[in-house]
Copies of this chain bind each other. A is one copy, B any other.
Amino acid sequence: MSVSRYTYLGPEGTFTEAALRTLPEAATRELVPMVSVPAALDAVRSGEAGAALVPIENSVEGGVTATLDELATGEPLMIYREVLLPISFALLARPGAALADVKTVTGHPVAQPQVRKWLAEHLPDAQWESAASNADGARLVQEGRYDAAFAGEFAAVTYGLTPLVTDIHDAQNAVTRFVLAGRPARPAARTGADKTSMVLWLGDDHPGALLELLQEFAARGVNMVRIESRPTGEGIGRYCFSVDCEGHLTDRRVGEVLMGLRRTCPKVRFLGSYPRAGVRPEEVSPLRPGTADEDFSAASDWLARCLDGRG
């Protein structure tokens, strides 16, 4: 296995590469762009790479379904890090082109809703066609297939293009979240500002099953920060849920939530505990009384005393 190699959703010049380069260890790794999320992750599964950085969620477009589905099924992987990257686009064209010349534009399908309003206002007649990635769109502009591409400004150099406009984003605060996935191992150490990810399958189509699942979290004061339903592929109406919660697997309350879910869901996949990007331990919201590790220890000591007749 080549732990010194990290794959990422390519090609070069995408936001994913930019996100990957924010990780300190990226400086000492061989960074290999891959053609798709499954390809990037499969390289980890096969041992060709030590880890893969892939987008998982976008604050405008929502979950990246290829990533969610790859992590939920297939040979297990685990998340070790997350990276948040503010997203804004540049409109890249061949040198010498002017905005008025742009009749056709391209970009990744995920980019389209983030520039839709800008397009309607500034290039109402331009025709959009999707590209396999933002960088690929830039390449197609370089090749002359389209007049301009939406991509990260950093892609201009790679493809010999010029940014006509920069800092384009319909929504303020557009952010994409990326995760660094590797093969299963012990989770990273608890930092005090952690996140735990999992996939939960609901049992028989019984009403209230989702409610019961959420109560496992609520009963131990563990906050969910993301929940996303995904079809299981077994027909309309059958879902699994991709869930992130606050806390680390070694937090007793989180461990109890996971055990409770394991008992009540037909299937649970633990996807890792890792530091929350952009949140320092002192910024974490206070615990609900009775849910600190000491409270769990005190309760289990007390139970032991009861069993022993000294309750």
Chain A residues at the B interface, C-beta cutoff of 8 Å = 38, 57-63, 65-66, 69, 76, 78, 84, 109, 113, 116, 129-130, 132, 170-175, 177, 184-187, 207-208, 210-211, 214-216, 218-219, 221-231, 233-239, 249-250, 255, 258-260, 262-264, 269-270, 289-291, 295-296, 298-300, 302-303, 306-311
Contacts and interface: CB of A to CB of B under 8 A. Distances in A.
Given A62-B229, A236-B177, A306-B249, A113 B262 contact: no
Contacts of A228: 228-229
A300 B258 CA distance: 9
Contacts of A175: 235-236
B173 A230 contact: no
A299 B60 contact: no
A70 to B, nearest CB: 10
A210 B214 contact: yes
A162 B78 CA distance: 44
14 contacts: A58-B231, A59-B233, A59-B238, A84-B236, A109-B109, A177-B236, A186-B308, A187-B306, A249-B306, A255-B307, A260-B299, A262-B299, A264-B289, A270-B306
Given A215-B219, A264-B290, A299-B259, A207 B224 contact: yes
The count of identical subunits is 4
Nearest to A220: B260
Nearest to A216: B219
A292 to B, nearest CB: 9
A303 B62 contact: no
A302 B262 contact: yes
A197 to B, nearest CB: 12
A228 B61 CA distance: 13
Contacts of A78: 309
Given A215-B211, A259-B300, A185 B62 contact: no
Given A130-B132, A207-B223, A259-B299, A231 B308 contact: no
B250 A307 contact: yes
A270 B231 CA distance: 23
A113 B68 CA distance: 13
A311 B300 CA distance: 24
A177 to B, nearest CB: 6
Given A184-B310, A211-B214, A259-B302, A237 B231 contact: no
Contacts of A207: 218, 221-224
Contacts of A302: 259, 262
Contacts of A186: 307-309
A234 B173 contact: yes
